[in-house]
Amino acid sequence: MNYEVSEKKGETKTVGLSELSDSQYEVTIDGATVLVDTVKSGKSAIYSIIENGRQFEVVIDEQGANGFDVLVGGQLFHLQALDERSKLLTATAKPVATGPQRVDSEMPGKVVKISAPLGTAVTEGQGVLILEAMKMENEIKSPIEGIVTEVAVVDGQTVESGALLFVVTPPDAKAPA
C-alpha cells in the first residue's frame, strides 16, 4: 500500500509499505527500496528496527487517525500518513486549528529549557521548550503561529506523559481566562 507521508510544513514523500511476514517489511521511499526487520518491545510502541544491517530503536505514538509522532535517533518527527483513500477524503475538507492549542507531553521527561516564555510570539514549528526523555533532548515545537499564553512547567521540572506543557493562542483569538 502507498502512503503520502509528510512532516508538518515539510516535504511530502511517497512511501510504499509491503508486509512480507509478521516482522519483515519492504519499504520504498521515493523509488528506493529497503528490507526492514522489526520487533515490537512488549506492549508498548517501541520497535527495534534493522535496516541494511543497522539497528535503530523507534518509539511510535499514534496522534489521531493519520498522525504519528516518531522518535528515532534522538529526533522527534510529527508525521502525517495518508493512504490513497484518506488523501482523497482530506483533500476536500482540511480542518483548521482554531482557538488556543494545548501541547501536552508525549512521554515522561524533564524540562531542560524553556525557549519561548509566556507572552512570546511564535511561528508554527518554532521550538518552545526542550524536554529530555529517554536520555535524549527533544525540542517541543509550537503547533500553530501565535502567542505563548500559558507555560505550565518550569526548567528542571519532571513531567508525566499527557501533562500540559504550554498553550499557544492564535493572534486573532483571545487568550484563555
Tell me which of 3.40.50.2020, 2.40.50.100, 3.40.50.720, 3.40.50.2300 is the CATH number of domain 101-169: 2.40.50.100
Domain boundaries along the sequence of the chain: 2-92, 101-169
Looking at the DSSP assignment, which residues form a beta bridge with residue 141? Answer: 127
Q: What is the pLDDT of residues 58-115, one digit of tens each?
A: 787 777 666 777 787 777 877 777 666 666 665 565 456 678 999 999 889 999 999 9
Domains 2-92 and 101-169 alike in fold: no
Rounded average pLDDT over 29-34: 79
For residue 176, give the nearest of 96, 103, 101, 95 by alpha carbon.
101
Look at domain 2-92 and name its CATH class: alpha beta
Q: How far apart are CA 148 and CA 135, in angstroms?
A: 27
Q: How far apart are CA 171 and CA 159, in angstroms?
A: 28
The pTM score is 0.48
